Structure 1
C-alpha cells in the first residue's frame, strides 16, 4: 500500500503579499520598484532573493535610478541572499558608481560574507586600494550587525580610519566598537571625543566606551 505525505500548498507558494512585491520589482516606474525593494528589506523574505537579483541586474543598466539600485542591493543583504555575492563582487570593480551605491555594495558584501563564511574578506582589499565608499559600507555592516572581527582586522581598521580622518568611516567605526575589547578601542574612542567634528561621532564614542550599542537608522 502506497503512503503519501501531503504537504500544505503554502510550502510551494509565497504569500500573496510577497508575490505582489516581487511583481512590483519589474514595474515600469522606478518609484514602484524602489517601494517594493524597501518593503522586502523589512519582510526579509529569503524566497524573493532570486527575483531581487534579476531586478537589480536590469536596474544597473541605468545610472539615473541609483536610489532604487541602492535599496535593491540592501534588500539582497537583508534577505540574506548569499547567491548574489558573485554579482556584487563584479559590481565592486566598477569605479564609476554613485558613492552611495558603493556604500551599499560594501555593506551587502560584508554582511553576506559574514553569513556565508563567518568572516569578511574584502576589507583588506578596500583598505589597500583606499576605496573608502566600499569600506564605509563594510564598517556600517559590522556596526549594524554587531560583528566582532578578528583582532588583526580591528587593529587594521582603527589604524586606517584614524589616518583617513573621514567622518563617515570614523562614525561607523565608533558605532561598531561596543562589542570589541576596550584594550583595542579605548584610545581611538577617546580621540573621537576630543577631535570629532560631529555630535553623532561623539555620541557613538561615548556609548562604545561603556560597551553600549545604540540604534542607528541608515538609509
Structure 2
C-alpha cells in the first residue's frame, strides 16, 4: 500500500527503525517541501543511534529532496564527521549538491565535496551531478575529471569514473572527449557503455541512485 504524506510523516516517530525508514523513503519520493522541517527533526533524532545508518541514509536523501539551502550547514557538518557506516556519506554528498547550489549549474557544492577527499561523499556528489544533468564551466569540469582520473583504476570506488562519464553527456571540449574515449575502451562494461552514450550526446539509461 502506498503511504500518504501524513502516513509517512507519522512513521518518522515509529519505535521501529524499519518503519521510520519506510516513511523516509516515501517522503523522499514525494519531494514535498512542506515536510522538510519534520524530516530534519527526524534526522537529528535518528543521528543519536549509530546502529540505524540505513534509516539515516534515507532521511538524508529525503531532506535532499525536500529541504533548502538552510539545511546545507548541517549536512556539511555531518560530512566532516568520521563514521563506520560510510554509505551515509553517499547520501550526504547527494543532498549537499541538490540543496547547496546558488544557481542550477553552480559547481561549488560538488567541488566542496571533492575537496574533502572522502570517496563516498564524492560518489554521492557526482551521482547528483549526473542525475541533475548539471552543465559546469570548463574549470569545474576539469576539477571533476581530475578527480575521476585520479581514481580511475580503483576498483573499490568504481563509480568515481562512472558518474562523471554519465554527466559528461552534457559537457564539451577536447578533454571531455578524451576522457570519454578512454572510458569507452574500459573493460568494465557499465563504464564503457555510459561513455559511449555520452560521446553520442546521450545520458546513460543506467543512471540510478539507492
* Number of aligned residues: 202
CA positional deviation for 1:128: 3.7
Structure 1 residues 125, 46: closer, same or farther in 2, change over 3 A? Answer: closer
What is the match of residue 179 of structure 1?
A: 170
CA positional deviation for 1:123: 3.5
User: Where does the alignment leave 5 or more consecutive residues of structure 2 unmatched?
Assistant: none
What is the match of residue 38 of structure 2?
A: 51
Question: In the alignment, does 2:196 pair up with 1:217?
Answer: no
Question: In the alignment, does 2:95 pair up with 1:95?
Answer: no
43-52 or 83-92: bigger deviation: 83-92
SS of 1:96's partner is coil
What is the match of residue 15 of structure 2?
A: 28
CA positional deviation for 1:112: 0.6
Question: In the alignment, does 2:150 pair up with 1:163?
Answer: yes
16-25 or 174-183: bigger deviation: 16-25
Structure 1 residues 97, 53: closer, same or farther in 2, change over 3 A? Answer: farther
Question: In the alignment, does 2:9 pair up with 1:17?
Answer: no
Question: In the alignment, does 2:58 pair up with 1:71?
Answer: yes
| 1:163-206 deviation line (CA, Å, top 9, x unaligned) | 22241100111111111114331111111122x34221111101
Name the Cα RMSD after superposition. Answer: 1.8
What is the match of residue 135 of structure 1?
A: 122
Please give the TM-score of this superposition, normalised by the length of structure 1. Answer: 0.86
CA positional deviation for 1:82: 3.0
Alignment check: 8 A CA contact 1:21 1:40 kept? yes
Which has the higher Rg, Structure 1 or Structure 2? 1
SS of 1:51's partner is helix
Q: Within 1, Cα distance between the matches of 2:78 and 2:84?
A: 9
Q: Within 2, Cα distance between the matches of 1:92 and 1:19?
A: 30
Q: Within 1, Cα distance between the matches of 2:15 and 2:38?
A: 16
Please give the TM-score of this superposition, normalised by the length of structure 2. Answer: 0.89
Q: Within 1, Cα distance between the matches of 2:67 and 2:48?
A: 24
Question: In the alignment, does 2:193 pair up with 1:193?
Answer: no
What is the match of residue 198 of structure 2?
A: 208
